[in-house]
């Protein structure tokens, strides 16, 4: 019967094999990419919930269907503020932007 390995052992081995994983800058970049991917997934689900296709949304926004796909796949470079605002409005919603610093936050848009 195998007892398996605990998470700490797996993590330590990964860091031995790939020391760059411990780099805070790389970790931050990976976290931002993951967050963008998750946000894109949620945007896709919102679009589907209102019954629009990527092509329909692209036509309303005046962008290519490929651009909508990039946004929904979390391509950070495609997530420009005005494009996201137009995306939200085209779905019948709005875009909220909040600046957070520690326990303080300010809604700016």
Q: How confident is the model at residue 1 (pLDDT cuts 50, 70, 90)?
A: low
Among 3.40.50.920, 1.10.260.40, 3.40.50.880, 3.40.50.1220, name the CATH number for the domain at 11-107: 1.10.260.40
pTM of the model: 0.74
Is pLDDT at 3 greater than 80 in this prediction?
no
Q: Which two tokens stand for residue 27?
A: 């970790």
Q: What SS3 class is residue 108? A: coil
* 95 close to 109: Cβ distance less than 8 angstroms: yes
pLDDT of residue 92: 95
* 71 close to 59: Cβ distance less than 8 angstroms: no
């Amino acid at each position: 019967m195998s007892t398996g390995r605990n998470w700490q052992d797996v993590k330590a081995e990964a860091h031995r094999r790939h020391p760059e994983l411990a780099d805070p800058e790389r970790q931050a970049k990976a976290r931002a990419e993951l967050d963008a991917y998750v946000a894109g997934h949620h945007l896709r689900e919102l679009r589907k919930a209102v019954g629009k296709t990527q092509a329909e949304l692209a036509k309303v926004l005046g962008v290519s269907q490929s651009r909508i796909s990039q946004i929904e796949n979390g391509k950070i470079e495609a997530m420009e503020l005005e494009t996201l605002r137009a995306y939200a409005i085209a779905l019948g919603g709005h875009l909220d932007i909040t600046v957070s610093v520690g326990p303080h936050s300010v809604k700016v848009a």
